[in-house]
Amino acid sequence: MIRAKITGSNGATLEQDLPLAIPQLHQEMYKAGIAKSPRNILLKGDKDVNVQLSADSEIGNRLLRVFSKEDTLADAHIVAFAVSSAREEILPELEQNIIHNQYLTKETLLDDIRDMTQAAGPVKLTFYCPLVGQLDDGECDEYIDVGSGFLAAYQDQIEQAIADEQAPEMGDMAQYMGSNPGVASKLMSAVWTVEEVDGKLLGRIDCHLKEPLTPEEMADLRDEIRGQCSDGLGEGFEQRPISTDEGDLYVSYWNSDDYFLCTADELEEHMEPHQSL
């Protein structure tokens, strides 16, 4: 889709087709003698590395126009990946938008891919789960367990942190939850976030589906979400500190002693037994 010619100040050169995962791209550059990270290489006017982008298709050539002088080589990968991995349900409209220069920046392109993907799943299904927090205040030898009320005070920071964990370069989380073919064919988008409910901060997972799930598919989707909370997305997220005025905060979508994963319709019956969260 996009081809990058990357030349270091020492004359080392690498020609690479994009998209290519950023860690792998960095590895290929390093082997070629270019040590600078793709995240730190400006597409235009970088003082250490020269980047020339080209394309052999109309779509690719139009995409080159969305980049600004602040965008990096990593951004070029993200754009190429987002378009090449777009769901087939939105691809014809997306390609027409690109050809007709509907996107002036990479941000508008990425936002539209997200919005179009979710719109292609008109059935919205929301799940909730308890959050668990631990605080490293820099003074105690052990982390301090904090309640959901404490987490609610830092909702904005937690919400931004889980959004950052679902970076565009990863694609939509729906692509990681396809063990059941029925779920895979219906699930267009899955987004982890948080929501305050009755003064308590809960984990929220918004799923957009093309059509309702069967009972079996619903059970399998719950299992997939639990797996992401415990061993996938949630496992990485709970290991990353969130900076607060009171220290580094670590938040888990899984480690509650009284764990539940319920739909919005089921939430009320779960909240009463968990008022002590």
Spell out the residues 6+ positions from residue 111 whose beta carbon is closer than 8 angstroms to its own.
none
Q: pLDDT value at position 269?
A: 79
Q: How does residue 140 score in pLDDT terms, banded at 50, 70 and 90?
A: confident
Alpha-carbon gap, residue 63 to 42, rounded angstroms:
17
Tokens of 186: 């219906």
Query: How far, in Å, CA of 277 to CA of 271, rounded?
Result: 9
Q: What is the pLDDT of residues 57-106, one digit of tens each?
A: 999 999 999 999 999 999 999 999 999 999 999 999 999 999 999 999 99
DSSP codes joined into one string, 230-274: HHSHHHHHTTS-EEETTEEEEEESS--TT---EEGGGHHHHHGGG
28: phi then psi, degrees, rounded to nearest 5: -65, -40
How many Å separate Cα 220 from the centre of its chain? 22
Element (H, E) at 116: helix 106-119
Confidence band for 138, pLDDT divided at 50, 70 and 90 = confident
pLDDT (average), residues 255-273 = 85
Q: What mean pLDDT value characterizes the chain?
A: 94
Q: Model confidence over 22-60: pLDDT tens digits?
A: 999 999 999 999 999 999 999 999 999 999 999 999 999
pLDDT at 276: 43
pLDDT classification of 273: cutoffs 50, 70, 90: low
pLDDT tens per residue, range 175-206: 999 889 999 999 999 999 999 998 899 999 99
Residue 151 pLDDT? 96
194 alpha-carbon distance from chain centroid? 14
> If DSSP codes are grouped into helix, strand and coil, which group holds residue 265?
helix
Q: Is the pLDDT of residue 275 over 80?
A: no
Q: Cα angle vertex 110, ends 242, 155, to 5°?
A: 25
The residues pairing with 129 across neighbouring beta strands, listed in sequence order, are: 203
pLDDT at 266 over 70: yes
pTM confidence score: 0.89
State residue 258 phi and psi, 5-degree precision.
-115, 60
Confidence of residue 153 (pLDDT cuts 50, 70, 90): very high
| Buried-state track 143-167, b at ≥16 Cβ within 10 A, e below 16 | eeebebebbbebeeebbebbeebbe
Q: Are 125 and 209 in contact (CB under 8 A)?
A: yes
| Contact indicator for 174, 190 with CB cutoff of 8 Å | yes
Residue 169: band (very low, low, confident or very high) from pLDDT cuts 50, 70, 90: confident
Amino acid at 94: L
- Strand, coil or helix: 263: strand
Going by C-alpha positions, the residue among 128, 132, 127 that lies closest to residue 151 is 132
- pLDDT value at position 272? 63
Q: How confident is the model at residue 277 (pLDDT cuts 50, 70, 90)?
A: very low
- One DSSP character per residue, 20-44 reads --HHHHHHHHHHHT--S-GGG-BSS
pLDDT at 224 over 70: yes
